[in-house]
Amino acid sequence: MNQQSEQSAEFNGHCAFAVSLGKKEMAGNESYYVIQDGKKYLFSNPIVKFLWRVIPGRKNKAESIWLNK
């Protein structure tokens, strides 16, 4: 494994896309992750990983929801 894949994940390992929708109970999968701005975001499957990249504002939305949990 490389150093980035061993990096601690944001949102306590929950699926970042699900968090951006207000669903904080969905677990992320170590097989599907993105390193963005030096942070590691996990996703439950490759489709939501793709959506995270193409739908603007998901990261900011997820961070806002997570901080207000």
pLDDT for 47-68, tens place per residue?
999 999 999 999 999 999 999 9
How far is residue 26's CA from residue 20's CA, in Å, rounded to a whole number?
11
Q: What pTM was estimated for this model as a whole?
A: 0.89
User: Which amino acid, residue 45?
Assistant: N
9-46 pLDDT, tens digit each: 999 999 999 999 999 999 999 999 999 999 999 999 99
User: Going by C-beta distance under 8 Å and a sequence separation of 6 or more, which residues neighbour residue 7?
Assistant: 35, 40
